[in-house]
Structure 1
Amino acid sequence: MRKIYLFIVSILMLLACNSQQDRQTASLVIQNGKVYTVNDANPNAEAIAVSNGKIVFVGSNDDVQQWIGEETEVLDVKGRTVTPGLIEGHGHFLGMGTSKLNLELLDVTSYEELTDRVAQAVKESQPGEWILGRGWHQSKWDSISGNIVKGFQTHDLLSSVSPDNPVFLRHASGHAGFANAKAMEIAGVQQLSVESLKTEDTHGGEVIRDELGNPTGIFNETAMSLISGHIPSSTREKDLRAMNLAVQESLKNGITSFQDAGASNYQIELARELLNEGKLKTRLWMMLSSRDTALLNSWYEKGPEIGSGDNFLTIRSIKIHADGALGSRGAWLLASYEDRANHFGHETTPMSFVYQVSKNALANGFQVCTHAIGDRTNREVLDMYEKAFTENPQAAKDHRFRIEHAQHLSLEDIPRFASLGVIPSMQAIHMSSDRPWAIHRLGKTRIEEGAYVWQKLLQSGARIVNGSDVPVEPINPIASFYASVTRKTLKGEPDQGYEPNQKMTREQALRSYTLDAAYGAFEEEIKGSIEVGKIADFTIYSQDLMKVPEEELLNTKIDFTIVNGTIEYKRE
């Protein structure tokens, strides 16, 4: 009898062991969270289980226990907020990293402060070495002293602090540059006669000069190449350092995917090198720069690259630059600038080229993303898109063409985004940063009718992709989220926000950084919401950004960034 009993016990133990071995366990379990899934069918949860980089469970703390095994990493987030991994919808990846290696000028508040930083850089540089930087914005300064020409400072003070080192400092927008006398001497930029001033043509740009024909140091749009063409090329080693810095900056800010707005073949090679070495910890979705037609032709021939390296690298879209920026008065407008009579900005790329690229992209399976800030540019680009769609309706069934920025629209063009299926990729932080001075460029009527009109676009049926345009602005998604839902500056002004009827709800703002951003990249089936089967990318915050009082939103920190089921960043 005892032998039979022991036999039965042995069988039961064997079955239990086999059952334990057969039971699937997770590599990572997140529990005790306030999970906002951005999944309408299951909007909230407490816990998530991950296996092989994919979500296998979303639900309660009790039910997730079945997924915990001996090898499972359990992350108790202790009530913190968890969302899908944030997606930077428009930025410049290498530019973000490079800005960490040069002078960062985003926080400069005066011309004198800018020159003080240059003077310090001169002390730390070799004679004749170029001093480079980015981020200044004269309209955000407390004041501009000295001579003012067409709304910009002149180079005199800059040249005095750096007489022997050439200096070139890009505007925050990236659409203008500021050079000192030494840089202009190297570039051969000379004084012009009064007669020559009438005929000077820089094809989509402007060398700003005083009334005597002297260059002031400001080079707008395509005219920047007069200086930048003389700057020594960077090295591959330095650029790889910049790429690695960009990865770390993304993770630190909760960004698990980055939509890179305009990449050369060289930049793609750098990204691929990081991918092959296992160092690309943020997913990169790169737009081909249309400035290189040979690059476009080679990609038309081989077709898009989707999801290489376990969805860490995708190349399926093309970036076109169609006008300039509002800060440098380069955005192309239907009516002239309020603060510069008879000036309409610049068409930096012919519309015929926009049409041709749109036509070729449709025929070869690519998406087009066109930089358009001014109301005229947006109208013209929509016209070119519509023409291409009409000529190839089969390919245009799910084109998801985008307009990058779409900042200033005419009333009649607002509903065209939804009707044409064009996605406005808009960086909410630009409203917060630019609105105090943008009214002087556009005037009250244009600002109220068509500037940063998020609700008008959303209510017409469009989906908005959010982002920061880093390094034009810091990559910080909390700042852009705050701007989306308050329409205030980061100083909390004005009390009700600018044009408050255009505020996003917090749910809309979160979607614009997650599911709708994924949709804008044809990736909503694999990311953008916390659902079983999707990739395990999550952002975890120090407080509940969906419910915390508005005045406390900017205090929110990124505590964890998880990519592919691995904790890639933890705040100390």
Structure 2
Amino acid sequence: MDLSRQLRTVALAVGLILPSADVLSATLMHNINGYHTTEKALEQFDAIAFDQGKVLATGDYGALVKRYPKAKKIDGKGRTLLPGLIDAHGHVLAQGQLESQIELRDLGLEETLAAIKKYSSQLQPGQWLQGRGWNQVLWPGKDFPTREQLDALEIDHPIWLRRIDGHAGWANSKALQLAGIDRMTKAPEGGEIHRLDSGEPSGVLIDNAMALVEQAIPAPSLQEKKAALTQAFELALSLGLTGIHDAGIDSGTLKAYRQLAEEEAIPLRLYPMISAAEKDLPQLLDAGHIGSPEDRLYVRSIKLYTDGALGSRGAALLEPYHDRPKETGLLLYPESEILSLLKLATDNGFQVNIHAIGDRANQLVLDHLETLNDNKDQKPFRHRVEHAQVLRVADITRFPELNLIASMQPTHATSDKNMAGDRLGNARLEGAYAWRKFLDQGTRIAAGSDFPVEPVNPLFGIHAAVTRRDRSGQPADGWRTKEAMTLEEALRAFTLDAAYASHQEQIIGNLEPGKYADFILLDGNIFSIDPQQIWQVKVEETWVEGDRIYTRGQ
């Protein structure tokens, strides 16, 4: 913790001991519709007092103005105040880079090709055309694309476009040539190269095979990474995020983060997970945690992928895909190697956050964590299963025994609703996107978006969690609504339980006295409007440690 923050913490501690905070330059914001969740209940308040970056009290304005008569008063103008929202699973660098690439989300095939052609005109000679967001499930026939479609655009640039889930990529012939990929190239373990009838690569590569192309793309410089991260910070703050758990970073991105922290250029709270694929992972873990819960940069976990995604049929299933009976998906690591990586992390005191989408991947993760627990109590680590998307119902009940957190992304359900049944069949949907089953057994859900797979806006996630409908209101009655969250649960998943998932619930996650004054002001009351309108609510202001750092329109 830097010296200035230590002094602020000490000053606050002294102030809280005093019978009155008049000796401090407190601020009292009133005329608000305030809400936050505690471990026991949803609480409402119409005023909040804060000073030195931390909350003094919430409650009735009349009572607080008597306690803090000398406080600076701010009229909240009747707006809704919530704790700063936390995205428990996003990809910060990828989001920042996407700001300068082409985004293809929600486009049909012809629209996608037209957008690529138009975008290519702004590139420099020899520059790679990069982007993401295509989704063949939205196209007629739902077939994967091919390099031939890109080649027909006659674009003189190598093209590499990640699928919306990030677990498949689409290349043109020029990109394949630069990467040295031809009909003789074998896919690495945990990856797949789609092929044309001729045996030539089609241009689509799945999971670990994507690295064959990406290693040929010039790596961004440290300064470019810092610039992309900064762009993502600004976007996040404008949407009400005061905390992000970055789901898998390499050593170069970690270096960029550390430089930004040293420059005091991180305006929100970051909880990056070190990628288990890092070649120097043992050395990074041996160096120990970075920062503390109070710091803007706090590193004490790893991110490990076990399988791919459902949309690209890379999710590892116990039984074959309903719409592809000969396929069961991919494991990205051999089983024994997964256990070794988990042990390496826990032996060094690191939490493990494990990507598992298919029911086979989830069962495997649970089995390995139980094996670790036999030798050392794993509960204090608060290990997380990232996505926990498709499980046997019997495996869902195994989470409480190990104090596992289900790190889930509500908008995945509303995006996948038209595809999940095709991939799984109806029987396996019983344990898919099953938020209610987790909550009813006492498992905490740390909610996120998985941006840029989904939009960054956390209010989209709260809307999806409550309605199980997409933003166009479909399906009208919701999709498998028995698994929906209440609004209070959804807010808690994006605040207090997300903070618990990063071992920070003592300092953020709600607005109890002594916690950081991280909060947002909204232009609508999500607790009084039609739930279908929640996603339309805008963030008016974002405050971090009692400082207003974003104002809409400025």
TM-score interval for Structure 1 and Structure 2 normalised by the shorter chain? over 0.9
CA shift, 1:527, in A, is 0.9
CA contact (8 A) 1:118 1:162 kept: no
Q: Which of the numbers 270, 276, 288 marks the counterpart of 1:303?
A: 288
CA contact (8 A) 1:289 1:319 kept: yes
| Paired position in structure 2 for 1:357 | 341
| Paired position in structure 2 for 1:181 | 173
CA contact (8 A) 2:22 2:68 kept: no
Structure exhibiting the larger radius of gyration computed from Cα positions: 1
| Paired position in structure 2 for 1:11 | none
CA shift, 1:552, in A, is 2.0
- Once residues 120 and 341 of structure 2 are traced to their aligned partners in structure 1, the CA distance between those partners, rounded to angstroms, is 44
CA shift, 1:299, in A, is 3.3
| Paired position in structure 1 for 2:357 | 373
CA shift, 1:68, in A, is 5.7
| Paired position in structure 2 for 1:496 | 477
- Once residues 508 and 233 of structure 2 are traced to their aligned partners in structure 1, the CA distance between those partners, rounded to angstroms, is 19
| Paired position in structure 2 for 1:510 | 491
CA contact (8 A) 2:343 2:372 kept: yes
| Paired position in structure 1 for 2:417 | 435
- Quickly say closer, same or farther: Cα 1:270–1:84, change in 2 above 3 A: same
CA shift, 1:116, in A, is 1.3
- Once residues 42 and 441 of structure 2 are traced to their aligned partners in structure 1, the CA distance between those partners, rounded to angstroms, is 26
CA shift, 1:341, in A, is 1.8
- Quickly say closer, same or farther: Cα 1:22–1:384, change in 2 above 3 A: closer
- Quickly say closer, same or farther: Cα 1:162–1:422, change in 2 above 3 A: farther
Structure 2 SS opposite 1:483 = helix
CA shift, 1:74, in A, is 3.4
Shifted more, 466-475 versus 181-190: the winner is 181-190
- Once residues 48 and 152 of structure 1 are traced to their aligned partners in structure 2, the CA distance between those partners, rounded to angstroms, is 53
| Paired position in structure 2 for 1:272 | 258
- Once residues 417 and 488 of structure 1 are traced to their aligned partners in structure 2, the CA distance between those partners, rounded to angstroms, is 27
Structure 2 SS opposite 1:165 = coil
CA shift, 1:513, in A, is 0.3
Q: Can you list the C-alpha shifts for 1:145-190, whole angstroms capped at 9, x where unaligned?
A: xxx8xx3122222112144211000111111000001111212222
CA shift, 1:241, in A, is 1.5
Q: Which of the numbers 349, 369, 385 marks the counterpart of 1:403?
A: 385
Q: Report the number of matched residues.
A: 535
| Paired position in structure 1 for 2:75 | 76
- Once residues 298 and 206 of structure 1 are traced to their aligned partners in structure 2, the CA distance between those partners, rounded to angstroms, is 31
**Structure 1 unpaired stretches of 5+:** 1-18
Q: Does 1:133 align with 2:131?
A: yes
Identity of aligned residues (%): 38
| Paired position in structure 2 for 1:541 | 522
| Paired position in structure 2 for 1:110 | 108
- Once residues 379 and 411 of structure 2 are traced to their aligned partners in structure 1, the CA distance between those partners, rounded to angstroms, is 32
- Once residues 121 and 62 of structure 2 are traced to their aligned partners in structure 1, the CA distance between those partners, rounded to angstroms, is 62
- Once residues 189 and 42 of structure 2 are traced to their aligned partners in structure 1, the CA distance between those partners, rounded to angstroms, is 54
Q: Can you list the C-alpha shifts for 1:365-394, whole angstroms capped at 9, x where unaligned?
A: 11000000000000001100110011113x
| Paired position in structure 2 for 1:7 | none
Q: Can you list the C-alpha shifts for 1:229-286, whole angstroms capped at 9, x where unaligned?
A: 1111112232222111011011011000100101122112211222222221011001
Q: Can you list the C-alpha shifts for 1:398-451, whole angstroms capped at 9, x where unaligned?
A: 12001000100112101011222111100000001111111111111111x111
Q: Does 1:99 align with 2:85?
A: no
- Once residues 346 and 227 of structure 2 are traced to their aligned partners in structure 1, the CA distance between those partners, rounded to angstroms, is 36
Q: Which of the numbers 381, 391, 394 marks the counterpart of 1:412?
A: 394
TM-score by length of 2: 0.93
| Paired position in structure 1 for 2:5 | none
CA contact (8 A) 1:163 1:182 kept: no
| Paired position in structure 2 for 1:9 | none
Structure 2 SS opposite 1:305 = coil
CA shift, 1:117, in A, is 1.7
CA contact (8 A) 1:122 1:162 kept: no
- Quickly say closer, same or farther: Cα 1:210–1:479, change in 2 above 3 A: same
- Once residues 207 and 115 of structure 1 are traced to their aligned partners in structure 2, the CA distance between those partners, rounded to angstroms, is 22
CA contact (8 A) 1:25 1:67 kept: no
- Once residues 404 and 22 of structure 1 are traced to their aligned partners in structure 2, the CA distance between those partners, rounded to angstroms, is 42
CA shift, 1:345, in A, is 0.6
| Paired position in structure 2 for 1:318 | 302
- Quickly say closer, same or farther: Cα 1:22–1:495, change in 2 above 3 A: closer
- Once residues 427 and 498 of structure 2 are traced to their aligned partners in structure 1, the CA distance between those partners, rounded to angstroms, is 30
| Paired position in structure 2 for 1:289 | 275
Q: How does 1:440-519 map to 2 (within 5 A)?
A: 440-447=422-429, 449-519=430-500
- Once residues 518 and 536 of structure 1 are traced to their aligned partners in structure 2, the CA distance between those partners, rounded to angstroms, is 14
Shifted more, 406-415 versus 360-369: the winner is 360-369
Letter in 2 for 1:241: A
Structure 2 SS opposite 1:465 = strand
- Once residues 408 and 41 of structure 1 are traced to their aligned partners in structure 2, the CA distance between those partners, rounded to angstroms, is 29
Q: Which of the numbers 541, 544, 553 marks the counterpart of 1:563?
A: 544
- Once residues 179 and 346 of structure 2 are traced to their aligned partners in structure 1, the CA distance between those partners, rounded to angstroms, is 40
| Paired position in structure 2 for 1:241 | 227
Q: How does 1:155-234 map to 2 (within 5 A)?
A: 155-191=147-183, 200-234=186-220
CA shift, 1:119, in A, is 1.1
- Once residues 558 and 330 of structure 1 are traced to their aligned partners in structure 2, the CA distance between those partners, rounded to angstroms, is 36
Q: Does 1:252 align with 2:244?
A: no
| Paired position in structure 2 for 1:48 | 48
Q: How does 1:519-538 map to 2 (within 5 A)?
A: 519-538=500-519
Letter in 2 for 1:117: A
CA contact (8 A) 2:379 2:404 kept: no
CA shift, 1:42, in A, is 7.6
Letter in 1 for 2:47: A
Structure 2 SS opposite 1:161 = coil
CA contact (8 A) 1:49 1:67 kept: no
CA shift, 1:69, in A, is 7.0
- Once residues 22 and 68 of structure 1 are traced to their aligned partners in structure 2, the CA distance between those partners, rounded to angstroms, is 6
- Once residues 122 and 42 of structure 1 are traced to their aligned partners in structure 2, the CA distance between those partners, rounded to angstroms, is 50
- Once residues 285 and 222 of structure 1 are traced to their aligned partners in structure 2, the CA distance between those partners, rounded to angstroms, is 25
RMSD in angstroms over aligned alpha carbons?
2.0
Letter in 2 for 1:258: I
CA shift, 1:132, in A, is 0.5
Q: Does 1:338 align with 2:304?
A: no
Letter in 2 for 1:520: A
| Paired position in structure 1 for 2:403 | 421
CA shift, 1:36, in A, is 0.8
Letter in 1 for 2:528: K
- Once residues 233 and 487 of structure 1 are traced to their aligned partners in structure 2, the CA distance between those partners, rounded to angstroms, is 39
| Paired position in structure 2 for 1:34 | 33
Shifted more, 363-372 versus 271-280: the winner is 271-280
Letter in 1 for 2:231: L
Q: Can you list the C-alpha shifts for 1:202-239, whole angstroms capped at 9, x where unaligned?
A: 21111100222021110111111111111111122322
